[in-house]
Each structure stands twice: as structure tokens, then as C-alpha cells.
Amino acid sequence: IGCGRADMCKFIIDFFGEQALYSGIDHNPIMSDLAKQKYGYETKVGAFETAQFNKHDWVVASGVFTQRRCQTEDEDLHKLFKDIKLMYDLANSTVSINLLSPINNQQHEGFFYVHPGLVLDMLIEQYQNVSIRHNYSKDVYTVLIYKF
């Protein structure tokens, strides 16, 4: 979700081989055109919330939730958890997203920052098997939700 130029597609195929199945969607048709030019890969154009996808082992959203999408932070948070539920329903195994951390970070107007502790508390209540990795960048952390 938010596949951009489909760089992750190349990584997945290089790592897992040609048998790997990749589906991508981006709201920006220019990015989808770049994916086709760069890798010869067709991605969907549109909003993942309304697109039709088959289930996949992993559902990944990278950089999708960094911009403010609503008028208030509460609305942004509600939309985030609604979108995570959509992703969870599409995943056989794992959902992976990244978010901007407000900890030790200069915040910029128009971006969505959410404390990892809040995310962890709310997701554990709903999904139980959740982990957060906040060890590769001071600005970004990754949330993994597992279906065991």
C-alpha cells in the first residue's frame, strides 16, 4: 500500500524468487507509471480503502501514514486504526506499517506524529500479537501485527 515505484517488489523478488506474488497500489498515477517503466510491473492506481485485493501473506504500508489526512489528530488516529483493520483483514500472516515518532524529533506542520506507546496499547487490545521496532531511525518506527 503506497507502493510508489514498486521498489519493494524488486526486493521481494530478489529475496524470495520469481514465485513471490506482489500486488501494489498507489494513489498517484505518476508513481504507478514509474513502477511500470522501472520494473515492468503493473500496480493499481487508487485508494487502498476501496480497492479490491485478494489476501496476501504480508500487507505493508510504508510512508502512507506520515501526512496528516484529517482535520484533527483524533480524526487522524481514528482513520489510522480503521485503515489498520482493513489491512489486517487482507493479511494472512503479518501487517507492517511505519509511523512518525514524536519522541526526540523536530515536528513539522502537516505531518502525523503518534507516540509508539499509545499505538502499542491500542493495538494490543485489538490484536494481541504486536511488536514495535524503534531502532533504526529516531524519526520513524515500524509496527508489526502478527496473525498467529
What average pLDDT does the chain have? 91
Q: What is the pTM of this model?
A: 0.89
CA angle 67, 78, 113 (to 5 degrees): 35
pLDDT for the residue numbered 92: 95
With cut-offs at 50, 70 and 90, classify the pLDDT of residue 118: very high
pLDDT digit string, tens, across residues 9-65: 888 888 988 888 888 999 899 998 998 898 888 889 999 888 888 899 999 998 899
Residues 35, 32: Cα–Cα separation, whole Å:
5
pLDDT for the residue numbered 99: 96
The CA-to-CA distance between both ends of the chain, in Å, stands at: 22
With cut-offs at 50, 70 and 90, classify the pLDDT of residue 115: very high
- Those residues whose C-beta lies under 8 Å from the C-beta of residue 71, and which sit 6 or more positions away, are none
DSSP state of 72: S
Contact assessment for residue 44 and residue 50, using Cβ atoms and an 8 Å cutoff: no
Beta bridge partners of 1: none
Beta bridge partners of 146: 94
Q: CB-side exposure of 143: number of CA atoms within 13 Å?
A: 31
Q: Is the dihedral of CA 120, 94, 83, 46 positive or negative?
A: positive
pLDDT digit string, tens, across residues 62-82: 889 999 999 999 999 999 999
Residues 34, 145: Cα–Cα separation, whole Å:
30
